[in-house]
A and B are shown apart, each in its own frame.
Chain A
């Protein structure tokens, strides 16, 4: 057997954006036909590196070799011609186009569409069969699920002749079942000799699917490993640059009286769609109640209804000695006064105002507090002091109250919001997607703070699409599916398989972990055998 050649060889790639050194002499070798993982925290330079490889940006210095030839990519067109395909984190699809139109965009095969469309239809049918990538070619994108849209992106790349496929955080938006399906596709692609580069921050995926893994930190490539020679702890340490606790360290919960009672809560939105159906549960002091579910199954509406942001259609909520229902709503302001704090799911839309300075974002909702006012005016000194104190307590970096909120990293924005809501010592904390887009080091910190609140006898409602987070932080778990509670389970009894089944309302009994391992160990098997 001869030695396999490199599909990608990057040598001393250097790229600066103003003062930011995004890529600092980065070297990378990817063996042909392998699945190669690239991990690193946000801002480590992974996406920049891939954008350079895809011709989206030009490197300031360095050499790019693809399948043995040296290239200078000045735009994506060249990279595509060299055999590189990319599936971006945010899909690059035209939503009101059909699958077919999206795929041929850029390689239409002539001035008129008719011929190109027919040829593409034939080729895509073939690709779909060869790799198990079936999708309705005449459906418009906005009617497809996220998992299918991703499939279209993969098809698009393959149709353009990609021999090397780059995927940027491909599983972030997928259900466990869709993830399994994606990994099955990876195996099929690998079988056909396609090289796959997987960019992710999920260590478990790296361990289960890749052959090699490279770690980036602060613009530099810090390590290359064979996946079989490493483990999650080592990779996490390499990413962050210090030892990281991956599991949440917590004692037994000391559960006390309920602080919130939700009875038969139903929410109908302005379009008349029932978003929450007959949801009932109790939230008790001294516990973390996790709400699991595939994104868009009513979690957002649950959080917003509990926080008084959207009206309740039916049912009622008892919270901290007050009651609210359709006739007697409570405003977020009143609830805040009672001791209910809310960390919204989408920090850019609801958590802070990106154009405001950190000190201004740090007082949203609390702008009438005595400790930042003097008379009718906000006291700038007190506002800054409030923010400074909060930044210290929650380790927000850089600790500059004047810096625009938009200029903090995702993790630091989140810590700022957590600080704002937690520092006032609420009795009930509603918290949505606390670690979405947050670095692994900050995740550790945020989890510790949530557990600390719980241990201080507060009640925490945690909504997250990350099953690992739900399982490790919560004490009890409820699962939402299509707006209704489809499962209740104690955290110690929960595993990914059970939760996955509850999330899909038991319609699709696939064991995600088992299937992932299957997908990995199956590189020698045929596609048919793999079909789950």
Chain B
């Protein structure tokens, strides 16, 4: 087995792990924005969810309870966003930014008050985390050239939430494009008046979308707090909510392309780790800072015009007011 294939597989394996929370968060944003509500608070919701998951898992020793807590925390913030922007027609950007600031501050203060570890939550033991799952027949199939290692290194050996993230994508597609809820969701983000005159409640639909987004964001946060890491550290989401938002735009609000965008960002991230300290002939070592900045530079470049016109849902960003 060539080293090159193994290196590639390990990089792709890392890509999947890094992309999972991005995918979950981007799908959350997709529901929200398809319904006409800008969701710049993805970051804050994920952070709060990561904190809730890590705290509850540490105290009760169950990752599943942690996941439940993460979903509850994330949904609370989603409802807060809804209350400010749907019920009271506040500015969606301002409300989202407020949620990000609130989550950043609150997680540290609560962490200090509850655990007295400088804002960290206690390190989780293996029973309190989502651990890697080895899929069946890995060893038996390992002899098959190429496919065997792919199955073993790439597909097997992830925690359950990674599989959830990738299963969610077709599910989201199906819900958005094949169900009644999806039709109404898309309509309310394009032309809420059409929804209102059809005798449907714009407010109810938008709250429903935010709740679905809250659940997905909660799973993403639990992944960050209790699967990818083993404790909560301050600002541990590190801008992933914003990257997910960028992927949402990059993928033009369509589930499958959004997933591909998340994978691309995840791949760059994984590549950056792999390239650290690597000698390149005639150039020397690539500075770590440059590698780490690469995904963000690419994001800016891509969003600045390489993706063609991304047309957002028409009513996104505007509160619905019945006019006189």
- With both beta carbons as reference points, the residue of chain B lying nearest to A109 in the complex is identified as B180
Contact B178 A112 (CB under 8 A): yes
- With both beta carbons as reference points, the residue of chain A lying nearest to B199 in the complex is identified as A77
Contact B183 A113 (CB under 8 A): yes
Knowing A108-B183, A116-B180 touch, does A76 contact B197 (C-beta < 8 A)?
yes
Knowing A108-B183, A110-B180, A114-B178 touch, does A93 contact B194 (C-beta < 8 A)?
yes
B contacts, CB < 8 Å to A:
178-184, 186-187, 190-191, 193-201, 314, 322, 324
> Inside 8 A of A116's CB, which chain B residues have their CB?
180
- With both beta carbons as reference points, the residue of chain A lying nearest to B198 in the complex is identified as A106
Complex Cα–Cα for A94 and B186 (A): 9
Complex Cα–Cα for A86 and B193 (A): 13
Contact A80 B199 (CB under 8 A): yes
Contact A113 B196 (CB under 8 A): no
Contact among B179, B180, B182, B322 with A56 in the assembled complex (CB-CB below 8 Å): B322
A496 at the interface (CB under 8 A from B): no
Contact B193 A92 (CB under 8 A): yes
- With both beta carbons as reference points, the residue of chain A lying nearest to B313 in the complex is identified as A96
Contact B190 A86 (CB under 8 A): no
Min CB–CB distance A125 → chain B (angstroms)? 20
- With both beta carbons as reference points, the residue of chain A lying nearest to B191 in the complex is identified as A94
Query: Which interface residue of A94, A106, A110, A112 has the most chain B CB atoms within 10 A?
Result: A94
> Inside 8 A of B200's CB, which chain A residues have their CB?
77, 105-106
Contact B187 A88 (CB under 8 A): no
Contact A108 B198 (CB under 8 A): no
7 other contacts beyond A77-B199, A112-B179, with CB at 8 A cut-off?
A86-B197, A94-B190, A96-B190, A105-B183, A105-B184, A105-B187, A106-B195
> Inside 8 A of B180's CB, which chain A residues have their CB?
108, 110-113, 116
Contact A97 B197 (CB under 8 A): no
Q: Give 27 A-B contacts (CB < 8 Å), ordered by A residue.
A: A17-B324, A56-B196, A57-B322, A76-B196, A76-B198, A76-B199, A78-B199, A79-B199, A88-B197, A92-B191, A92-B194, A94-B190, A94-B191, A95-B191, A96-B190, A97-B186, A102-B194, A105-B183, A105-B195, A105-B198, A105-B200, A106-B184, A106-B198, A106-B199, A112-B179, A113-B180, A113-B182
Contact B184 A97 (CB under 8 A): no
List the 6 closest A-B pairs by CB distance, nearest first: A77-B199, A106-B198, A92-B194, A108-B180, A76-B199, A92-B197
> Inside 8 A of B178's CB, which chain A residues have their CB?
112-114
- With both beta carbons as reference points, the residue of chain B lying nearest to A86 in the complex is identified as B197
> Inside 8 A of A41's CB, which chain B residues have their CB?
none
- With both beta carbons as reference points, the residue of chain B lying nearest to A17 in the complex is identified as B324
Complex Cα–Cα for A103 and B159 (A): 44
- With both beta carbons as reference points, the residue of chain B lying nearest to A91 in the complex is identified as B194
A75 at the interface (CB under 8 A from B): yes
Tally of A interface residues using CB under 8 Å: 32
Main secondary structure of the interface of A (DSSP, over half): loop
| Contacts of A105-138 to chain B: CB distance below 8 A | 105-108, 110-114, 116
A101 at the interface (CB under 8 A from B): yes
Contact B314 A95 (CB under 8 A): yes
Interface string of A50-81 (1 = CB under 8 A from B): 00001111000000000000000001111110
Contact B199 A94 (CB under 8 A): no
> Inside 8 A of A56's CB, which chain B residues have their CB?
196-197, 322
Complex Cα–Cα for A106 and B201 (A): 10
- With both beta carbons as reference points, the residue of chain B lying nearest to A116 in the complex is identified as B180
| Contacts of A354-368 to chain B: CB distance below 8 A | none
Complex Cα–Cα for A310 and B197 (A): 39
- With both beta carbons as reference points, the residue of chain A lying nearest to B174 in the complex is identified as A112
Complex Cα–Cα for A79 and B197 (A): 10
Min CB–CB distance B161 → chain A (angstroms)? 27
> Inside 8 A of B324's CB, which chain A residues have their CB?
17
> Inside 8 A of B187's CB, which chain A residues have their CB?
94, 97, 105
Min CB–CB distance A526 → chain B (angstroms)? 33
Min CB–CB distance A98 → chain B (angstroms)? 11
> Inside 8 A of A106's CB, which chain B residues have their CB?
184, 195, 198-200
> Inside 8 A of A101's CB, which chain B residues have their CB?
183
Min CB–CB distance A142 → chain B (angstroms)? 11
- With both beta carbons as reference points, the residue of chain B lying nearest to A54 in the complex is identified as B197
- With both beta carbons as reference points, the residue of chain A lying nearest to B188 in the complex is identified as A94
Query: Which interface residue of B183, B190, B324 has the most chain A CB atoms within 10 A?
Result: B183
> Inside 8 A of B193's CB, which chain A residues have their CB?
92
Contact among A77, A105, A107, A110 with B194 in the assembled complex (CB-CB below 8 Å): A105
Min CB–CB distance B319 → chain A (angstroms)? 18
Min CB–CB distance A388 → chain B (angstroms)? 29
Contact among B191, B194, B199, B314 with A75 in the assembled complex (CB-CB below 8 Å): B199
Query: Which interface residue of A76, A97, A105, A110 has the most chain B CB atoms within 10 A?
Result: A105
> Inside 8 A of A75's CB, which chain B residues have their CB?
199, 201
> Inside 8 A of B190's CB, which chain A residues have their CB?
94-97
Contact B179 A113 (CB under 8 A): yes
Complex Cα–Cα for A101 and B193 (A): 15
Complex Cα–Cα for A88 and B324 (A): 14
> Inside 8 A of B322's CB, which chain A residues have their CB?
56-57
> Inside 8 A of B191's CB, which chain A residues have their CB?
92-95
Min CB–CB distance B216 → chain A (angstroms)? 20
- With both beta carbons as reference points, the residue of chain B lying nearest to A90 in the complex is identified as B193
> Inside 8 A of B197's CB, which chain A residues have their CB?
54, 56, 76, 86, 88, 92
- With both beta carbons as reference points, the residue of chain A lying nearest to B315 in the complex is identified as A94
- With both beta carbons as reference points, the residue of chain B lying nearest to A104 in the complex is identified as B183
> Inside 8 A of A102's CB, which chain B residues have their CB?
194
Min CB–CB distance B63 → chain A (angstroms)? 32
Min CB–CB distance B266 → chain A (angstroms)? 30
Query: Which interface residue of B182, B186, B198 has the most chain A CB atoms within 10 A?
Result: B198
> Inside 8 A of A97's CB, which chain B residues have their CB?
186-187, 190
Complex Cα–Cα for A102 and B197 (A): 12
Complex Cα–Cα for A56 and B180 (A): 23
Complex Cα–Cα for A56 and B324 (A): 10
| Contacts of A253-284 to chain B: CB distance below 8 A | none
Complex Cα–Cα for A487 and B183 (A): 46
Complex Cα–Cα for A113 and B184 (A): 11
Min CB–CB distance B195 → chain A (angstroms)? 7
> Inside 8 A of B199's CB, which chain A residues have their CB?
55, 75-80, 106
